[in-house]
Structure 1
Amino acid sequence: MSYFPENDPSLTTTSLLNTSSILITNANLLTMEGVTIEQGWIHIVDGKIVGLGDTTEWETYKSQLSNISNTRIIDAQNRLVSPGLIDPHTHIGIDEEGIGWEGADYNETSEAVTPHLRALDGINPYDEGFVDAARTGVTTVQVLPGSANVIGGLMCCLKVLPGSTVEQMVVLHPSGLKMALGENPKKYHGVASGRAPLTRMGIAGIIREQLVQAQHYVAQQQSIEVEQSRPSPPRNLRMEALGLALEKKIPVRFHAHRADDIATALRLGHEFDLDITIEHTTDGIKIAKELASSGRYCSVGPTLSSRSKVELRNLSWETYPALYQAGVPISITTDHPVLPIQYLPTSAKMAIQAGLPLDAAWEALTIQAARHLHLADSTGSLKVGKDADIVIWNTHPLTDSGEVALTMAGGQITFAQSEPQL
């Protein structure tokens, strides 16, 4: 029998803003933990999932609680409830919409090598894109510097909490170091200014040169720590950022569309023993075997866009099922605002139409994206101990025209339809 909270006098519905305890009932839970729970429930306290199960487990769970009064009750009305969606590659807040050059803070094109820059310093948390993300069911995003530079800087992961400060939104900083191969660095530096890099050889050479310099810097710092008698040299923020990548404290995230650029990323990762991911992976279908054997995570997209440059000539929805079938761990990106973030579910639907299995599409939007970001311990699935990143859908978003009824990020409700619809 379904559990209806209004029939239980021990539970008191309180206002949304004054409670740290929320109970979602009558939910069809897509957990992304290998099980779907019909007529399930989720208990959230202080932004974390502290309990979930089916109706047969409720009474046992309830009996173990000392007090669950003052709990906000949300009746999902037998709707689908999933983990929050994750976009692992965006420029949200750092490339603002509707503003023009004043909101374009994602490419510092004054030089080609800027590892010391931090996307965190350019994010406007009041960008309308965050509101659109919440309305779409997106609860976590990674924000990267742009791809104009060979080495673009440090990135961060945010909870989508419209109206909050960046400090309140950050869940991982830095979450990686941006490097870009191919057309963009050649265009913004070689073609536009006549300075290096003018070629793909130049791009790879600059990356090697910088990493070797950083190896010496890291070795020097380590020897000073051992000896303790030598004075420390002045800090070098550029080398420190590269050192984080060399020590595998953060991944290097390579912007790479063409198959040869993807191969270069794999080569550099092997040469310097880096933790790398491939970003965009447009030509991944040509190099699927190599990607699969490398074990590298790949974000794919944005595919719902035009072939606006040479590297996008092979843009295809077939890339998603081909990579999945080859065994490549994939996630889906909009590269917002290249493709507005509200089209993330639409992108998954298009990949499904091209042959990507439904389960794989859900994984790409949730748990695989969380793994891509090294956040799978805290988000990407509905599991006790993880953040309460949860979406209630009015109908299924990938097989139907389902829309978001409610989005919750870290236990905070960031979007909700009017109360009668919940």
Structure 2
Amino acid sequence: MASNSIAITDGYIVPVEGEPIDGGTVLLVDGKIAAVAGQEFKPPPGADVVDAAGKWVLPGFIDAHAHLGVHEEGEGWAGSDTNEMTGPVQAHVRALDAINPAEEGFRDAIAGGVLAVNVNPGSGNPIGGQTVAIRCWGRTVDDMVLREPAGLKSALGENPKRVYGERKETPATRLGTAAVIRAAFTDARNYIAKQDFEKNDSSERKEPTARDLKLEALARVLRREIPWRQHCHRADDIATAMRIADEFGYQLVIDHGTEAHLIADKIAAAGIPVIIGPLFTSRSKVELRNRSLANPGRLAAAGVTIAITTDHPVVPIHFLIHQATLAVKEGLDRETALRAVTINPAGIIGVADRLGSLSVGKDADVVVWSGDPLDVMSRAEVAYIGGREVYHYDYGTRSGVHVAP
């Protein structure tokens, strides 16, 4: 067996999709998970054996909504590239083009067991731009990409209303914000219709319809190639998001969903997932008056698929699992809490075929924990991305050691 094989043995394995295995082994071969087995499994000859006795082994956590790399910590305006607020419709801008892999937050993420993240533009515009799903380790963002684009960001509620209302420009109201979004989708429908007509038109034409990057991005949403990532907190804004999604037929994801529990039955019936959070914040604006750590449990109990987000840097990304822990304290069941930071966000951002559970054939993005990660005293001790160790905790110096990409 080649030296690129690692057997993590005798640990408490939490596959997420499947029952836990006490004293089990996870075998990593050529960057993939090759086996998830019980005590009877014997590591193949030549494999590097990692003794995980007394430790927990889980897939890397995933934050499905963050601004990691586009809103750098400690850089002020120079590192803030979340909002292109020069016009309300910015469907053509890409988070991909503003991510700095050298940002300290990526190292914090890995130390907190978060190995992948969906990076979103901000919420200052009704249509903010394209999201990207990336790993938290790499020299360039191109090395880190899992899916691009992974969605298109939009915002309802206070943020765009405040930004453009202060300028006395459209949209200055909730009705204006909805109108901007509906008009953009109408333009995209017309763009698609023109393209389809040209494909089927046998007559000679002097020149095809000119490319439009904004309309191309919106067309991908209308074709259901990527989801519409709708920032909204208040229940009425969530209802508006659902209404517009019904009108145009796209795949909707609710981001934040502070008051989603108030209409949880409708959200569950529509099969719309909610990325809830951040949960470690004060009620800093009117939309957050019903913020509660009990809300994830209320949504899950109603049958809504949830993921938990830090909205980094609003909450530091390595606190992702701690938000899940306190949600459990307030009623969320433990299994759903772990799914809310693993397989659920993986599915929402379109990478569940590669990440989110310890399953044979998936990428070897694995974290060995000192104990139950829902215990705040536990820590991520070793992290593997693509079967390569990228981090370990040094108890001698009481600090994390990151491997350079």
TM-score (norm 2): 0.94
Looking at structure 2, the residues matched to 21 and 56 of structure 1 have their Cα atoms a distance apart, in angstroms, of: 18
Q: Is the 8 A contact 2:322 2:376 kept in 1?
A: no
Higher helix share goes to which structure?
A: 1
Q: Which residue of 2 aligns with 1:98?
A: 74
| Residues paired across the two proteins, number | 396
Q: CA deviation at 1:78?
A: 3.0
Q: CA deviation at 1:293?
A: 0.6
1:41 counterpart letter in structure 2: T
Q: Is the 8 A contact 2:194 2:209 kept in 1?
A: no
SS of residue paired to 2:146: strand
Gaps of 5+ in 1: 1-10, 13-18, 63-67
Q: Which residue of 1 aligns with 2:173?
A: 199
Q: Is the 8 A contact 1:297 1:329 kept in 2?
A: yes
Q: Which residue of 2 aligns with 1:225?
A: 199
Looking at structure 1, the residues matched to 196 and 11 of structure 2 have their Cα atoms a distance apart, in angstroms, of: 53
Q: Is the 8 A contact 1:159 1:410 kept in 2?
A: no
1:33-48 correspondence to structure 2 within 5 Å: 33-48=17-32
Looking at structure 2, the residues matched to 215 and 113 of structure 1 have their Cα atoms a distance apart, in angstroms, of: 16
Looking at structure 1, the residues matched to 232 and 368 of structure 2 have their Cα atoms a distance apart, in angstroms, of: 35
Q: CA deviation at 1:419?
A: 8.7
Looking at structure 1, the residues matched to 316 and 55 of structure 2 have their Cα atoms a distance apart, in angstroms, of: 26
Q: Which residue of 2 aligns with 1:146?
A: 122
1:190-229, Cα deviation, whole Å (9 max, x unpaired)? 22x1111011000111111010110010111122122364
Looking at structure 2, the residues matched to 281 and 409 of structure 1 have their Cα atoms a distance apart, in angstroms, of: 31
1:347-391, Cα deviation, whole Å (9 max, x unpaired)? 011101101111110111111111111211111100001011111
Q: Which residue of 2 aligns with 1:379?
A: 355
| Alignment RMSD | 1.7
Range that drifts further, 139-148 or 217-226: 217-226
1:58 counterpart letter in structure 2: K
Looking at structure 1, the residues matched to 153 and 70 of structure 2 have their Cα atoms a distance apart, in angstroms, of: 14
1:320-359 correspondence to structure 2 within 5 Å: 320-359=296-335
Range that drifts further, 294-303 or 392-401: 392-401
1:288-321, Cα deviation, whole Å (9 max, x unpaired)? 1111111111100001011111111111112111
2:103 to 120, 127, 137: 127
Q: Which residue of 2 aligns with 1:4?
A: none
Looking at structure 2, the residues matched to 337 and 74 of structure 1 have their Cα atoms a distance apart, in angstroms, of: 34
Q: Which residue of 2 aligns with 1:189?
A: 164
Q: CA deviation at 1:112?
A: 1.0
Looking at structure 2, the residues matched to 198 and 242 of structure 1 have their Cα atoms a distance apart, in angstroms, of: 22
2:130 counterpart letter in structure 1: L
1:128-277 correspondence to structure 2 within 5 Å: 128-161=104-137, 163-191=138-166, 193-227=167-201, 229-230=204-205, 231-277=207-253
Q: CA deviation at 1:109?
A: 0.8
Find out whether 1:87 has 2:63 as its counterpart: yes
1:216 counterpart letter in structure 2: N
Looking at structure 2, the residues matched to 419 and 308 of structure 1 have their Cα atoms a distance apart, in angstroms, of: 38
Q: Is the 8 A contact 1:182 1:261 kept in 2?
A: yes
Q: Is the 8 A contact 2:188 2:215 kept in 1?
A: yes
1:189 counterpart letter in structure 2: Y
Q: Is the 8 A contact 1:298 1:372 kept in 2?
A: no
Q: CA deviation at 1:88?
A: 0.3
Looking at structure 2, the residues matched to 156 and 361 of structure 1 have their Cα atoms a distance apart, in angstroms, of: 24
Looking at structure 1, the residues matched to 384 and 118 of structure 2 have their Cα atoms a distance apart, in angstroms, of: 18
Range that drifts further, 238-247 or 224-233: 224-233
Looking at structure 1, the residues matched to 93 and 116 of structure 2 have their Cα atoms a distance apart, in angstroms, of: 22
Looking at structure 2, the residues matched to 118 and 222 of structure 1 have their Cα atoms a distance apart, in angstroms, of: 26
Q: Which residue of 2 aligns with 1:306?
A: 282
Q: CA deviation at 1:34?
A: 2.1
1:118 counterpart letter in structure 2: R
Q: Which residue of 1 aligns with 2:403?
A: none
Range that drifts further, 308-317 or 71-80: 71-80
Range that drifts further, 344-353 or 228-237: 228-237
Looking at structure 2, the residues matched to 400 and 279 of structure 1 have their Cα atoms a distance apart, in angstroms, of: 26
Q: Is the 8 A contact 2:54 2:370 kept in 1?
A: no
Q: Which residue of 2 aligns with 1:15?
A: none
2:209 counterpart letter in structure 1: P
1:246-284, Cα deviation, whole Å (9 max, x unpaired)? 000100000000000000111111110010100000011
Q: Is the 8 A contact 2:25 2:41 kept in 1?
A: no
Looking at structure 2, the residues matched to 133 and 316 of structure 1 have their Cα atoms a distance apart, in angstroms, of: 24
2:342 to 357, 366, 374: 366
1:287-298 correspondence to structure 2 within 5 Å: 287-298=263-274
Q: CA deviation at 1:410?
A: 2.2
Looking at structure 1, the residues matched to 53 and 17 of structure 2 have their Cα atoms a distance apart, in angstroms, of: 22
Q: Is the 8 A contact 1:393 1:403 kept in 2?
A: yes
Q: Percent identity?
A: 42
Q: Is the 8 A contact 1:33 1:381 kept in 2?
A: yes
Q: CA deviation at 1:400?
A: 5.0
Q: CA deviation at 1:396?
A: 1.1
Q: CA deviation at 1:92?
A: 0.2
Looking at structure 2, the residues matched to 380 and 49 of structure 1 have their Cα atoms a distance apart, in angstroms, of: 12
SS of residue paired to 1:55: coil
1:227 counterpart letter in structure 2: D
Range that drifts further, 136-145 or 74-83: 74-83
Gaps of 5+ in 2: 401-405
